[in-house]
């Protein structure tokens, strides 16, 4: 007895395009494969030391790190605290006058990934001796912070006629000064107190041979120092705190009006008592609020 086979009834999805039957093929889901990359990040002291020795022995190591695994290790550790991977730390942490610094581009890269970063802008205004580098940056919950560094500022700091980058790339150096001040003013937590390399390069180098000789007989401080009364200690601490507050306020004014900041510096030098310093601090706060 012959049996008849019946074809399956087409579904609605198959009855498309003038009654033609389209059989959908099952989709094969491919597993996700991340892009291949070799990024070695040490997690222990031993791993960090082995990486430091490998970098120090490489011809690609910067001169400050060549054959100096200790320097490499410290730079890698410092980079990890700043959020830089090992090789980025080696390339962007510079040793200038014996102190670690960050190149300006790396400092900006660290700040722009900070959770409180909003936006920034930098540009040049004016021409010739009237040229001014402007850096504006905003931290979340704060007003836009504007910092300037002009040719006049560079002349006052005796930088404008200095040989080297100031003669070869003057606009870039103006830009780095304004950027460095702005980044350190608003994101000191991100930069961990490190200075900007382009700024540190201009700091004078003190020759140890020019330092005065130490006395041959050194006494303990307890043998020579008089005991300072507690009241005097508190007065000194209060004076230091007020001085620090005044200088921070003047630095903020400098980003808005450099000429006014210079005038305020003169007033701060003339104010010798704590009362006058506090009065000056109040005046500056009022100025900033307006």
Residues 241 and 274 in one domain: yes
Q: How far is CA 281 from CA 94, 180, 254, 284, 287, in A?
A: 36, 25, 15, 5, 10
Position 213 in a domain: no
pTM of the model: 0.56
Residues 91 and 141 in one domain: no
* Contact partners, residue 218, CB within 8 Å, separation at least 6: none
Position 120 in a domain: yes
pLDDT at 206: 53
Number of domains in the chain: 3
Position 223 in a domain: no
Residues 76 and 130 in one domain: no
Residues 180 and 133 in one domain: yes
Position 218 in a domain: no
Position 227 in a domain: no
pLDDT tens digit sequence for 189-216: 999 988 898 888 887 655 555 556 655 5
pLDDT tens digit sequence for 230-246: 656 777 777 778 888 87
Position 212 in a domain: no
Residues 171 and 132 in one domain: yes
Residues 125 and 185 in one domain: yes
Residues 120 and 175 in one domain: yes
Average pLDDT in the 259-270 region? 77
Residues 86 and 135 in one domain: no
* Contact partners, residue 186, CB within 8 Å, separation at least 6: 137, 139, 142, 145
The residue segments making up the domain with residue 120 are 116-190
Residues 241 and 276 in one domain: yes
Considering only CA atoms, which of 200, 185, 193 is closest in space to residue 254? Answer: 185
Please, how many CA atoms are within 13 Å of residue 90, restricted to the half-sphere of its CB?
23
Per-residue confidence band for 122, with pLDDT thresholds at 50, 70 and 90: very high
Position 101 in a domain: no
pLDDT at 26: 53
Position 215 in a domain: no
Which domain-ending residue is among 152, 170, 190? 190
């Amino acid at each position: 007895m012959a049996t008849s086979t019946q074809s399956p009834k087409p579904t609605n999805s198959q009855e498309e395009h003038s009654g033609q039957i389209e059989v959908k093929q099952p989709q094969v889901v491919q597993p996700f494969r991340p892009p291949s990359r070799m990024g070695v990040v040490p997690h222990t002291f031993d791993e960090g030391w082995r990486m430091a020795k490998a970098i120090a022995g490489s011809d690609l190591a910067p001169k400050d790190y060549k054959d100096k695994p200790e320097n490499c290790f410290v730079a890698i550790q410092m980079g990890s605290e700043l959020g830089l991977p090992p090789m980025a730390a080696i390339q962007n942490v510079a040793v200038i006058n014996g102190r670690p610094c960050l190149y300006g581009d790396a400092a900006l890269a660290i700040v722009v990934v900070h959770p409180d970063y909003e936006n920034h802008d930098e540009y040049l205004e004016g021409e010739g001796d009237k040229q001014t580098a402007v850096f504006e940056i905003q931290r979340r919950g704060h007003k836009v912070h504007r910092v300037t560094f002009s040719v006049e500022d560079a002349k006052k700091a005796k930088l404008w006629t200095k040989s080297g980058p100031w003669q070869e790339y003057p606009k870039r150096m103006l830009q780095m000064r304004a950027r460095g001040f702005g980044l350190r003013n608003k994101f000191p937590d991100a930069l961990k107190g490190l200075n900007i390399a382009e700024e540190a390069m201009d700091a004078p180098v003190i020759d140890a041979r020019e330092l005065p000789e130490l006395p041959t007989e050194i006494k303990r401080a307890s043998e020579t120092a008089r005991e300072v009364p507690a009241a005097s200690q508190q007065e000194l601490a209060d004076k230091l705190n007020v001085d620090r507050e005044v200088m921070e306020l003047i630095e903020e004014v400098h980003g808005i009006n450099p000429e006014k900041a210079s005038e305020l510096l003169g007033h701060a030098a003339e104010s010798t008592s704590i009362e006058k310093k506090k009065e000056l601090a109040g005046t500056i706060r009022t100025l900033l609020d307006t």
